[in-house]
């Protein structure tokens, strides 16, 4: 369904009715719906990749892999809900001899209701119509209305058709999933009283505007936004001495991957002063090709960001050129070099995300200066440390843990595993939430806790009944019980 056939009010009314049916469905039923969508997307992957490549220029190999990631996410969430721990079922039996006397209390997580999801430009499958936000919301029993991204409208429409048909064939209720278009409709969606939460991946200005709308409603709702991230990398002197060539090649591959349009692109790299590492990075990236960008607007913004960095006194262009027409010729890599002192003088200009294949190498004089400049770095999705065995890195790791949701060692941040342990989120402006948008625990965003006191067993969710008919993990009288 789209607004071509129904008004937004009709769509949200249908979503409200469907959410009640979905919440009452069993985990096995909803898992069947998710698996049906995954199977349908896999069956139509070749067609979808062709449409996506025409609209995004991301290339068939990358897009084919992204379809597989998307269907893998759907199947992961099917396993998450049938495993059962996602419900966080807790039972505390009554104890009249306690002081004060304790009633019977049983707590569970329940679906929050209809959810709005805003598609991302840079992941037309995995963070879009059938992506992680949609999959995790559907998994726990929410209905979903997706706002399509203008950068891949044809793909969004075709993906939505496949998802809707798969859900229908699998027996899901009408209104469980819908697609809408347009900025005004998206704004109205966030403000619609039927919507109980929003998932968003996009720019800081756009996300912040929607966040403010969501929280200023008469009934404020959660806004789970992923906005912007610099993903700082710290390299120690010992690491550079041991493997500078390997590090230069790895960094060049990471910041240019996908034309630098990954949300985990390493945008800031902190290195000891007085090394030749910037020249090595420039050499490692000079043969990386210029690549088409996702949209004309993004391509036009990239050179503006480059020129903003280059205009700061003390910032040098050590690789590539800021004078490029990314819209016409593709985005070419650019490597900048400056000092920590210059960043501390110009944080507003240099600690800004530039979406594209560029990174800034920042030389620090000592650990004190490194700590001072890291303290100015905004919240990020990732932080990376390259060091050598035996170095005292405890304080540095603690600082990096405070500014990012995922801390990497001896690797590069581009590439996000979809599993139980993943944390894809960080302090603002990386996200507006404490929760992850990738991995098993992403479902927690679309649930709320409810406790039942002295309730008759007939009204309880099966997960809270005495005999545990679902056979799921639960905490009973303070003790974790595994099936």
Residues forming the active site: 226, 263
- Determine the Cα–Cα distance for residues 165 and 328; give it in Å rounded to an integer: 38
Alpha helices in 129-276 (DSSP H): 132-140, 153-170, 183-191, 204-216, 237-256
Among 382, 83, 112, residue whose Cα is nearest residue 221:
112
In contact, 147 and 181? CB cutoff 8 Å:
yes
Question: Is the omega angle on the peptide bond into residue 433 within 30 degrees of 0, that is, cis?
Answer: no
Residue spans of beta strands (DSSP E) within 282-331: 316-319
Short-list 353, 389, 322, CA closest to 232:
353
Whether a cis peptide bond, with omega within 30° of 0, leads into 136 is: no
CB 216 within 8 A of CB 240: no
CB neighbour burial string for 124-137, b if at least 16 within 10 angstroms, e if fewer: bbbbbbbbbbbbbb
As a whole number of angstroms, the distance between CA 452 and CA 108 comes to 9
Instruction: Give CA 145 to chain center in angstroms.
Output: 18
- As given in the structure block, the two tokens for residue 165 are 């048909």
């Amino acid at each position: 369904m789209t607004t071509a056939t129904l008004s937004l009010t009709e769509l949200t009314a249908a979503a409200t009715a469907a959410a009640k049916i979905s919440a009452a469905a069993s985990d096995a039923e909803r898992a069947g719906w998710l698996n049906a969508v995954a199977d349908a997307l896999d069956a139509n992957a070749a067609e979808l990749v062709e449409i996506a490549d025409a609209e995004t220029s991301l290339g068939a190999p990358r897009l084919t892999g992204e379809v597989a990631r998307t269907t893998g996410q759907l199947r992961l969430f099917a396993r998450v809900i049938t495993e059962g721990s996602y419900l966080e079922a807790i039972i505390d039996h009554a104890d009249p001899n306690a002081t004060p006397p304790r009633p019977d209390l049983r707590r569970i997580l329940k679906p929050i209701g209809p959810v709005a999801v805003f598609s991302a430009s840079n992941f037309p499958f995995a963070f879009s119509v059938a992506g992680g936000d949609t999959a995790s919301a559907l998994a726990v029993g929410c209905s979903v209305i997706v706002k399509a991204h203008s950068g891949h409208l044809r793909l969004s429409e075709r993906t939505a058709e496949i998802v809707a048909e798969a859900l229908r064939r699998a027996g899901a209720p009408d209104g469980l999933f819908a697609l809408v278009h347009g900025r005004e409709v998206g704004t109205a969606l966030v403000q619609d009283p039927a919507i109980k939460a929003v998932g968003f991946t996009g720019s800081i200005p756009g996300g912040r505007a929607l966040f403010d709308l969501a929280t200023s409603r008469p009934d404020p709702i959660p806004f789970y936004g992923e906005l912007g991230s610099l993903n700082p990398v710290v390299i120690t002197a010992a690491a550079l001495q041991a493997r500078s060539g390997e590090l230069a090649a790895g960094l060049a591959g990471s910041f240019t991957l996908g034309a630098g349009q990954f949300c985990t692109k390493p945008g800031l790299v902190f290195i000891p002063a007085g090394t030749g590492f910037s020249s090595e990075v420039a050499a490692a990236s000079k043969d990386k090709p210029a690549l088409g960008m996702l949209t004309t607007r993004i391509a036009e913004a990239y050179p503006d960001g480059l020129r903003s960095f280059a205009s700061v006194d003390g910032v040098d262009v050590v690789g590539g050129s800021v004078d490029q027409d990314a819209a016409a010729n593709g985005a070419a890599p650019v490597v900048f070099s400056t000092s920590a002192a210059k960043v501390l003088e110009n944080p507003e200009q240099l600690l800004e995300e530039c979406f594209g294949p560029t990174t800034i190498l920042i030389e620090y004089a000592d650990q004190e200066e490194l700590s001072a400049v890291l303290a100015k770095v905004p919240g990020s999705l990732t932080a990376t440390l390259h060091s050598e065995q035996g170095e005292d890195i405890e304080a540095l790791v603690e600082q990096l843990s405070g500014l990012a949701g995922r801390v990497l060692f001896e690797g590069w941040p581009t590439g996000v595993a979809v599993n139980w342990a993943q944390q894809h989120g960080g302090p603002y402006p990386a996200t507006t939430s404490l929760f992850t948008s990738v991995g098993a625990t992403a479902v927690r965003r679309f649930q709320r806790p409810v406790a039942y006191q002295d309730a008759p067993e007939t009204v309880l969710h099966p997960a809270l009944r005495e005999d545990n008919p679902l056979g799921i993990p639960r905490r009973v009288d303070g003790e974790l019980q595994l099936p």
